[in-house]
Amino acid sequence: MHPRLHQAQFLIAAGRADQFPEGGLEVAFAGRSNVGKSSAINALLNRNKLARTSNTPGRTQQIIFYALGDEERRLVDLPGYGYAKVPHAVKEQWGRLIETYLLDRESLAGLVLIMDARRPMQEFDQQMLEWADHFDLPLLVLLTKADKLKANEARRTRDFVKAELASRFPDMKAQLFSATKGTGVPEARDQLVEWLRLAETEKSDGQ
Ligand code: GTP
Ligand code: MG
């Protein structure tokens, strides 16, 4: 079935692994705190306020699942990594939740790693790349807030990240993105749809 990006709905905000939806397929969005994950989801779904965004880092504290037309296809907004002001115990709990999700999620068809185009390839980003590579998970880097860079700076950043990926993780892709200007939205949408379709084909082949 075709994933319906234009019919997205909030499904569940999960604070525990036993609340994760069962079965189906999904694409998850990861990235450092305040980088623009929720805004990217809204832009891709063409919805202003579906995913809650904020100037305050650490807005998304649970794992939020959105259904695409039906509950079998989903986008997943992961809590941001590295928000310093959160108490240690809370941070540990988030960490465990995300880890549980990433390590044991059969539904996961692809990972979108959001980086700030002005500060790409930070330590957390590198960890996520290694992790996705280790588990053979398809990964797309969105270099977001590209609207904050001059066109030539944005291109230089994109080429740098692409070159890094090509030398270390040749199957991964990167593109510029802006939630506010809509840059890169159609291309990223195509990738999500392709992943969900591919994963579905693989699933039915395996049955
Ligand atoms: P957490 O859930 O706290 O980890 O944050 P997040 O990664 O979901 O970020 P969010 O989407 O809430 O955006 C954080 C801030 O960045 C907000 O003030 C957004 O308006 C802003 N922002 C997000 N994307 C863009 C973009 O493409 N361009 C610009 N200029 N601002 C953006
Ligand atoms: Mg968020």
CA angle in degrees (0–180, nearest 5) for 66-69-75: 30
Question: According to the model, what pLDDT value does residue 206 have?
Answer: 72
What percentage of the chain has pLDDT greater than the value 70?
Answer: 89
Residue 32 beta carbon below 6 angstroms from any ligand 1 atom: no
* Calpha distance 107→75 (Å, rounded): 11
Fold (topology level) of 3-206: Rossmann fold (3.40.50)
Instruction: Give me the residue spans of the domains in the chain.
Output: 3-206
Mutate to test the pocket of ligand 1, among 33, 54, 148, 150 (most ligand atoms within 8 A of CB): 54
Residue 33 beta carbon below 6 angstroms from any ligand 1 atom: yes
Question: According to the model, what pLDDT value does residue 103 have?
Answer: 87
Which stretch of 35-49, 84-98, 100-114, 125-139 has the lowest confidence by average pLDDT? 84-98
Tokens of 18: 């036993």
Confidence of residue 196 (pLDDT cuts 50, 70, 90): very high
Whether pLDDT at 121 is above 90: yes
Residue 36 beta carbon below 6 angstroms from any ligand 1 atom: yes
49-58 pLDDT per residue, tens? 888 877 666 5
Question: According to the model, what pLDDT value does residue 133 have?
Answer: 94
Burial per residue of 11-41, b for 16 or more beta-carbon CB atoms within 10 angstroms, e otherwise? bbebeeeeebbeebbbbbbbbbbbbbbbbbb
Confidence of residue 1 (pLDDT cuts 50, 70, 90): very low
Give 192: exposed, middle or buried? Use CB within 10 Å, 0-12, 13-18, 19+.
buried
Closest CA to 102 of 76, 125, 82: 76
In the chain, DSSP finds a helix count (H) and a strand count (E) of 5, 7
Query: Residue 36 C-alpha to ligand 2 middle, in angstroms?
Result: 7
* Calpha distance 29→40 (Å, rounded): 9
Sheet holding 8-14, edge to edge: 8-14, 63-68, 70-77, 25-31, 108-116, 139-144, 173-176
Mutate to test the pocket of ligand 1, among 53, 112, 114 (most ligand atoms within 8 A of CB): 53
Query: Residue 203 C-alpha to ligand 1 middle, in angstroms?
Result: 34
Residue 3 beta carbon below 6 angstroms from any ligand 1 atom: no
